[in-house]
Amino acid sequence: MATATETPIDAEKIRRDFPILETIIHGDKRLVYLDNAATTQRPQAVIQAVVDAYEKHYANVHRGIHWLSEQSTNLYEEARVRVQQFLGASSPHEIIFTTGATASINLVARSWGDVNVKAGDEILLTEMEHHSNIVPWQQLAERTGATIKWIPITETMQLDLASLEHLLSSRTKLVAITAVSNVLGTINPVAEIVKRAHAYGAIVLVDAAQSAPHEATDVQQWNADFVAFSGHKMMGPSGVGILYGRESLLEAMPPFMGGGSMIRRVTLEGFEPADLPDKFEAGTPPIVPALGLRAAIDYLEQVGLSRVAAHERVLTRYAHQRMSQLDSVTLIGSDPEIKSGIVTFVMNDVHAHDVASRLDSVGVAIRAGHHCAMPLHKKLGLVATNRASFYLYNTLEEVDALVAGLAQIHEWRATHRGRRRT
Ligand code: PMP
């Protein structure tokens, strides 16, 4: 949260940095972009960093003995150091550039999982995970014969921490949890779960896809073993993500993908892997996206993550307050005072896709569907929900536009229903 001395974000001023937010759609509707949990928009500084990279610095990294390649390599490695600082990691060797959170989690499941998980072992997940933090573990369980267990959610949409007492045991090899639910907005007590899992010798992976863009991340405070997130959800380019791993674990893990750059030596008989972090970056890495991510981190930290979190809290609180006054809307998620900037809801008698497409017609972009969290939706007894999600450039007026759009849908539905009855 913002400290008492911090000034609140001036979202109108911030918006001027984002060219796409000026877009007019459907003839005369100003775009109201409330789909930030799916992906965020980019400020000019990030767009310019990408343009600069292609115009001034671009060559392949770690290969050429020429000026441009050295420049490109230096910038790429500087970006790694920037990510290290952003996360509070001990060394740049702990930062692996991947293509996104999904790729990062799959890397751990394949490389760490295949070596360390065996039949009879247990993997502990939560009922609020995104498919990206479910399916790689189901695939690992299929390969190894391990069993998956689930930390349930409570009626207040929190994790049931009391269940850890019987779910954790010496059989638990890995606990994989999301820091923030992409559906419920719930902020999970990562450090506490890590502590309890470590007491049983389990390794913990944190899916930070929905937390890293919105609140400061300190891997030391979490004491997590692996942390995964994506650049595109924090104003960076798509196609780049991060895997943070504890150095001792990464050192012991075999490379996941083979190819150029990840080797020290290759002979007809075999290969010797390179040192960290190259060992896990086979092939040409996301060079330009990594430089864009660096610019996004610079932008984010210049604004201040605590101010971003405080701004989103204001929007979330306001959205809850206004939306709870709409009879036909049911809000789904944890208490707005303690959750992140995600507001998920359903409208009585209106399919989530109809809600989203009617809102789109008035310029409001939100998400509809299962949000890649089918097991959570099943638990909630729902097939699909709607989700509005905020970021630093959203305004109270945009929440008003969402609420006005929902009120219109309510009216439309009431009229439509009335007509059908006659
Ligand atoms: N985890 C969570 C919680 C997410 O919200 C998402 C993206 N919706 C992912 C993982 C996957 O991220 P990506 O598609 O960028 O790999």
Q: What is the pLDDT of residues 186-245, one digit of tens each?
A: 999 999 999 999 999 999 999 999 999 999 999 999 999 999 999 999 999 999 999 999
For residues 204 and 194, the answer to whether their CB atoms sit within 8 Å is yes
Atom of ligand 1 nearest to the CA of 180: 3
Q: Are residues 55 and 28 in the same domain?
A: no
Q: Which atom of ligand 1 is nearest to the CA of 38?
A: 8
pLDDT at 3: 58
Share of the chain above pLDDT 70, in %: 98
Question: Do 55 and 154 reside in the same domain of the chain?
Answer: yes
pLDDT at 198: 98
Closest CA to 402 of 366, 371, 368: 366
Which residue is closest in CA terms to ligand 1's atom 12? 101
Rg (CA), the chain: 23
How far, in Å, is the centroid of ligand 1 from the Cα of 228? 9
Rounded to the nearest angstrom, the distance between the alpha carbon of 245 and the centre of ligand 1 is 18
- Is the CB of residue 98 less than 8 Å from the CB of residue 241? yes
Q: Calculate how far, in angstroms, residue 371's C-alpha sits from the geometric centre of ligand 1.
A: 9
- Residues 162, 217, single domain; the answer is yes
Q: Is 307 noted as a catalytic residue in this protein?
A: no
Where is the domain boundary, 274, 301, 328? 301
Among candidate residues 191, 372, 384, 407, the one labeled active-site is 372
State phi, psi for 262 to the nearest 5 degrees. Answer: -95, 10
**Residue with CA at minimum distance from ligand 1 atom 14:** 102
What is the residue-averaged pLDDT of the chain? 96
Which residues' Cβ are closer than 6 Å to ligand 1? 37, 100-102, 130, 132-133, 178, 182, 207, 209-210, 230, 372
Distance CA 344, CA 402 (A): 13
How does pLDDT run across 257-305, given as a tens digit for each residue? 999 999 999 999 999 999 999 999 999 999 999 999 999 999 999 999 9
Is the residue at 205 inside a domain? yes
Q: Which of 301, 318, 340 is the last residue of a domain?
A: 301
Q: How far from chain centre, in Å, is Cα 277?
A: 22
Predicted local distance difference test score (pLDDT) of residue 421: 46
Q: Considering the domain boundaries, does residue 209 fall inside one?
A: yes
Asked whether the predicted pLDDT for residue 309 surpasses 60, the reply is yes
- Look at the pTM and tell me if it is higher than 0.75: yes
In the listed set 301, 336, 357, which residue is the last one of a domain according to the structure?
A: 301
Within a 13 Å sphere around the CA of 78, how many CA atoms are in the beta-carbon half? 12
The residue whose CA is least distant from atom 4 of ligand 1 is 209
CATH of the domain at 166: 3.40.640.10
Domain that holds residue 324: 11-39+304-413
When divided into structural domains, the chain yields a total of 2
φ, ψ for residue 137, nearest 5 deg: -80, -35
Residue 422 has a pLDDT of 41
Ligand 1 center from residue 360 Cα (angstroms): 23
Count of residues in the chain: 422
**Which tokens sit at 380?**
């909630």
pLDDT tens sequence across 5-39: 689 999 999 999 999 999 999 999 999 999 999 99
